Chain A
Amino acid sequence: MDWLTEFPALSYDALREINKAVDTTFRDFSREYGSSIEQFFDPLLQFLVWLEQLLITTPWPIIIGLVALVSWFASRNYKIVLGATISLLLIGIFGMWENTMSTLSIITVCTLLSILLGLPIGILMAHSNRAQSFITPILDVMQTMPSFVYLIPVVMLLGIGKVPGVIAVVIYAIPPMIRLTNLGIRHVDKAVLEAAEAFGSTYWQKLRQVQLPLALPSIFAGINQTIMMSLSMVVIASMIGVKGLGQPVLKAITNQYFAMGLFNGLAIVALAIIFDRVSQSYGKRLQGQHNA
């Protein structure tokens, strides 16, 4: 009756064989294709480097001015503009300007990528129930799998650096974008869609003129969550060589520099709050346009 008290697991040797088989297969794969995959991502790397340099070399008053301007047009709320400006000033005073700009560039790229990929996937999901039942479990896995686990194959393939960092962040941050696009489109009033069809809309006209505009508030909620999740990945991404606010935090953990960790952590929080308030109030304004 051993097998009741002790789980009849595979033998140690068998397990080791399985692990080894998976590892070598993947290693062979990355040896074979690693460099071509790297080449594929080269334009992305170029763009990342360019954006980061741009943000760092632009004089800080211009950046702060731009952030204030964008906040104003998105939210029309002077409190949010004021909060954003003061946070950025404090970040600069405490010597975290450059790291913040690096993080900003990475977040921007990750968000853009998530939108670029997530929007069409979300549309596809809304269009077909079969696509939805196929993609939903994948999104579940992406969101619940500890991020360290999928860092491993990414690093094995692409080594350490910005691009694997971005990929890891996008995998983690894209699900809400996809889900909320899908949801937003599916929740569009059936009667309105029927009207569009009855008056002679084609499939694309319906999508572009009715479904997407009406799903916009939901899509914006998705973008907002994507940004928040990217920011929360910053520290983990810094473990594989992504520059920015995550690196000093990591250093602070290993060397037990409490103050350093705290300041950089607060800078991440400040960025998060700015992004959140600005994108959310923009989304709300969009929503206010349609619904009383």
Chain B
Amino acid sequence: MSNITDTPPKLVVEGLYKIFGKHPQQALQWVKEGMNKQELLDQKHHVLGLQDINLSIQPRSIEVIMGLSGSGKSTLIRHFNRLLEPTAGKILLDGEDILTFNQRQLREMRLHKIAMVFQKFALMPHLTIAENVQYGLKLRGSSLKEADLQERCTYWLERVGLKGMEQHYPRQLSGGMQQRVGLARALATDADILLMDEAFSALDPLIRTDMQDMLLSLQQELNKTIIFITHDLDEALRIGDSIAILRDGALIQQGNAQDILLNPVDAYVRRFVADVNRTRVLKVKTIMQGMNALPTDIDDSRPMTVKGSRSVEYLLNKTILQNPSAIWVVNNKGERIGYIDRAILANTIGRDEEADQDWEGLWAASA
């Protein structure tokens, strides 16, 4: 599917296990012999945090990790910068196994390659906003001049919309503003990987949407590899290029939003996606017909065009307003790449279980 590309992955996780308890290696054997999370907890008093995670994350994309509370999301993301040590497995960053790193290499990686944004912001309460933003840079020691620090700090504060707040303290800021500082602190290090553990979950819905927009617009230009944890599917679908779903410490599905919506692998995932407004999530290009399979009777007197990257919801609104005779899907350059059949569009609104089958067929055709 769409996440299989030619570029080498940024981060690869192979056979990752994490078991909390006194004798993790012993417990690992039991798990490999087939014991599940509940049994391990009840009988052996060990917590199965992660089991056999295999994951590959593309550079310059937003990978969302989803799952219910306790499914191991935080545990997984904390392995990427080795805040936690795995019980077994490999983690490759740009092809290098970070588990073989010594203290110095590990520190180097945290200083330069991976930055993190936290759910409860985790700003230093005794430092000013400016000092907080410069925190990661200052840890590097003498390599940066004071003027340089100031400049970067001012730049990033402005980018996250907090110009002029340098001398305030975190407690003087609202939650949303504090998280902007958290984001600026992470971005200021120029790390190309950003770990975000429920970074927006503590914020009000409106502010949360603002933050998502800001992150997306920053990402358009920065092209970082972002690993974003959330338990909110709407958020996941909105920002994720790819979504990984965890349950009881195991990875049960990874794919893009369309994959997850159209082909949930099991009841757990289906439950996750049950309440989603599909027209908002699905992209126009997933329901179009290719140029090689056009109907013969197209009335092109009042044509309308829509970009393939737009949502179906947008398409519906536009269709109702303009009442075109034909709907063409175009790419960013304005070239026609497909055609929308009205019958299929109608199905999108009044979809039922049978429509699901059609959808899958359509999806397969357009992929």
Contacts and interface: CB of A to CB of B under 8 A. Distances in A.
B116 A198 contact: yes
B120 A191 contact: yes
A292 B140 CA distance: 31
Contacts of B338: none
Contacts of B119: 191
Contact of A199 (B116, B121, B125, B172): B116
A199 B136 contact: yes
B349 interface: no
A197 interface: yes
A291 interface: yes
A192 B127 CA distance: 12
Interface string B61-99: 000000000000000000001010000000000000000
Contact of A192 (B107, B125, B136, B189): B125
A66 B69 CA distance: 59
Interface string B106-131: 01101100111011111111100000
B348 to A, nearest CB: 43
B297 to A, nearest CB: 61
B139 A201 contact: yes
A284 to B, nearest CB: 15
A210 interface: yes
Nearest to A286: B126
Contacts of B135: 199
A292 B174 CA distance: 12
A199 B194 CA distance: 11
A210 B126 CA distance: 8
Contacts of A290: 125-126, 169, 171
A34 interface: no
Contacts of B116: 195, 198-199
A194 B122 contact: yes
A289 interface: yes
B171 A198 contact: no
Contact of A194 (B83, B111, B189): B83
A189 interface: yes
Interface residues of A, number: 21
Contacts of B189: 199
Contacts of A200: 107-108, 110-111, 136, 139-140
B124 A210 contact: yes
A213 interface: yes
Contact of A198 (B81, B140, B169): B81
B139 A197 contact: no
Nearest to B103: A202
A260 to B, nearest CB: 48
Interface in A238-292: 289-292
Nearest to A198: B116
A198 B197 CA distance: 12
B122 A197 contact: no
Interface centre among B115, B125, B169, B189 (most CB of A within 10 A): B125
B107 A202 contact: yes
A195 to B, nearest CB: 4
Interface in A202-261: 202, 205, 209-210, 213-214
B125 A214 contact: yes
Contact of B110 (A192, A198, A292): A198
Interface in B164-204: 169, 171-172, 185, 189, 195
B125 A194 contact: no
Contact of B118 (A195, A205, A209): A195
B122 A191 contact: yes
Contacts of B125: 189, 192, 214, 290-291
Given A213-B126, A289-B126, A292-B171, A198 B83 contact: yes
Interface string A118-151: 0000000000000000000000000000000000
A210 B110 CA distance: 17
A18 B73 CA distance: 64
Contact of A189 (B111, B115, B122): B122
A192 B169 contact: no
A202 B110 CA distance: 11
A73 B27 CA distance: 59
Contacts of B108: 200
Contacts of A292: 171-172
Contacts of B136: 199-200
Interface string B2-38: 0000000000000000000000000000000000000
14 contacts: A189-B125, A191-B118, A192-B123, A192-B124, A194-B83, A194-B118, A195-B116, A195-B118, A195-B122, A197-B110, A200-B107, A200-B110, A213-B126, A290-B169
Interface of A: 189, 191-192, 194-202, 205, 209-210, 213-214, 289-292
Given A197-B110, A209-B124, 6 more contacts: A195-B116, A196-B124, A199-B115, A199-B136, A199-B185, A210-B124
By Cβ-Cβ distance, the 8 closest A-B pairs, closest first, are: A200-B110, A200-B111, A195-B122, A191-B122, A199-B136, A198-B116, A292-B171, A290-B125
